[in-house]
Amino acid sequence: MPLRPLSKRLRPATAVVLLGSVLLAGCREVPSVPDAAGPTGQPASTAPETTEGLGGASDRQSPSASAGSASPSASGSGSDTTASTPPSSSGGTEVAAAVPPVPAAGTKPIPGNAVRIAEFVAECKFSHRLPDDPIVVPGLPGGSHSHDFFGNNVTDAMTNLGDLRGGKTNCAPKVDLSSYWAPTLMADGKAVPPDSATFYYLGEGVSRDITAKIRPMPVGLKMVAGNAKATSEADSRSRWSCLHAGHVGASKDFVNCPAGTKLETYLDFPQCWDGKNLYRVNSAHMAYPQADRCPSSHPIAVPKIRMVLRYPVSGDPAKLRLSSGDGLTMHADFMNAWNEQELTRRVRDCINRIVKCGPDGEY
């Protein structure tokens, strides 16, 4: 990755303000697929911020629930203009320029053989590895544990929306310039990048009537999922399982995968937005649904991102560790830099109409 100009990488004022936050930084996640802790739907709650969380084309199996259950939550109020101007910020809060509207009703014919699941995907690859986190400890190079970055190739501790828009991506589609990252997996002390990283954008988690009203995420939205400081299953949102080995039960910690299979992890991001902030400390601007609807404090439903990472690892999990700790501490971060028109098209055609789409946003 090309080095950033020294003038950009050194931001003394920011570093002084944020230095104290290094000790407070952590992370949290949410799986929507059945896991060892219980069924798909998790109780709604605001997403705690001291947080951080992770798939491939040939092996890709849709992690969505059945088509009949696909559906997200609450519409919410706000301006009907799309956010396209730079966000304003104040301290640890970044305010959205506007609330993206619910997309106009789609008119594209749906083929008879279409799979009726509200889903589109971004298939990404490992890009680079750094001890940085531009959400939890922004402006402090080396201030975090190691993260594996996917998608945009410019992400480091200093990254902002303008950087992402000027960068390049290894994701399909190329219109997704977003950045995704998760802690580095270590096997016998050696870093192991995942073979694949799939980011599913889903309409599940809320009732069907809400699915039809899901809006695109605002440009510049930042989110964290999972708990980088988890010490028990009760405070972890991680999910580990084995690809093509369903007989091995899922767990919140690492599992023993048979030879010839791969270790995989699932993590769901919160999908209810407060309609005002692109970011708040502890991801307080985001929440998980309650009873298939978004809570009144976070009324706007956006697509649920499910990260699925698959690693070329099997066998005794005693050799495994994340840079943040054991398997319970899996977490993930997301900075939205999608092309706004292309994201809106996918939400309209794939999510609102409950049709499974590929990376190109087509049926």
Task: Tell me what the pLDDT averaged over the chain comes to.
Answer: 82
Tell me, yes or no, whether 3 lies in a domain.
no
Cis peptide before 173 (omega within 30 of 0): yes
For residue 238, what are its two tokens? 């991680």
Grade residue 47 by pLDDT with cuts at 50, 70 and 90: low
pLDDT at 240: 98
For 10-27, what is the mean pLDDT? 41
Report the predicted TM-score, pTM, of the whole model to 2 decimal places.
0.79
Tell me, yes or no, whether 189 lies in a domain.
yes
HSE-CB of 292 using CA atoms within 13 angstroms: 10
pLDDT at 63: 55
Tell me, yes or no, whether 14 lies in a domain.
no
Tell me, yes or no, whether 12 lies in a domain.
no
Residue 175 pLDDT more than 90? yes
Are 133 and 144 spatial neighbours (Cβ–Cβ below 8 Å)?
yes
pLDDT at 361: 96
pLDDT at 17: 38
Grade residue 52 by pLDDT with cuts at 50, 70 and 90: very low
Are 132 and 149 spatial neighbours (Cβ–Cβ below 8 Å)?
no
Grade residue 164 by pLDDT with cuts at 50, 70 and 90: very high
For the stretch 304-339, pLDDT in tens is 999 999 999 999 999 999 999 999 999 999 999 999
Rounded Cα distance between 250 and 243, Å, is 11
**CA–CA distances in Å: residue 239 to residues 37, 90, 111, 120, 145:** 9, 35, 34, 21, 20
Residue 156 pLDDT more than 80? yes
For residue 340, what are its two tokens? 């706004």
3-state secondary structure 298-333: CCEECCEEEEEEEECCCECHHHEEECCECHHHCEEE
Sheet strands (E) in the chain: 88-90, 93-95, 119-124, 126-130, 147-151, 179-183, 185-187, 190-191, 196-202, 222-226, 239-243, 262-268, 272-273, 277-279, 286-287, 300-301, 304-311, 320-322, 331-335
Tell me, yes or no, whether 16 lies in a domain.
no
For 6-27, what is the mean pLDDT? 41
Residue 186 pLDDT more than 50? yes
Residue 258 pLDDT more than 80? yes
Q: How many domains does the chain have?
A: 1
Amino acid at 107: T
Domain hosting 119: range is 36-106+113-352
Which 8-state DSSP code applies to residue 172? Answer: B
Tell me, yes or no, whether 344 lies in a domain.
yes
Tell me, yes or no, whether 24 lies in a domain.
no
Tell me, yes or no, whether 4 lies in a domain.
no
Q: Kindly report the number of other CB atoms within 10 A of residue 255's CB atom.
A: 22
Q: Could you tell me which residues are beta bridge partners of residue 338?
A: 176
Residue 205 pLDDT more than 80? yes
Are 180 and 149 spatial neighbours (Cβ–Cβ below 8 Å)?
yes
Entry field: residues in the chain: 363
Percent of the chain exceeding pLDDT 90 equals 70
Residue 217 pLDDT more than 80? yes
Q: Could you tell me which residues are beta bridge partners of residue 190?
A: 187
pLDDT: is 71 or 174 the higher one? 174
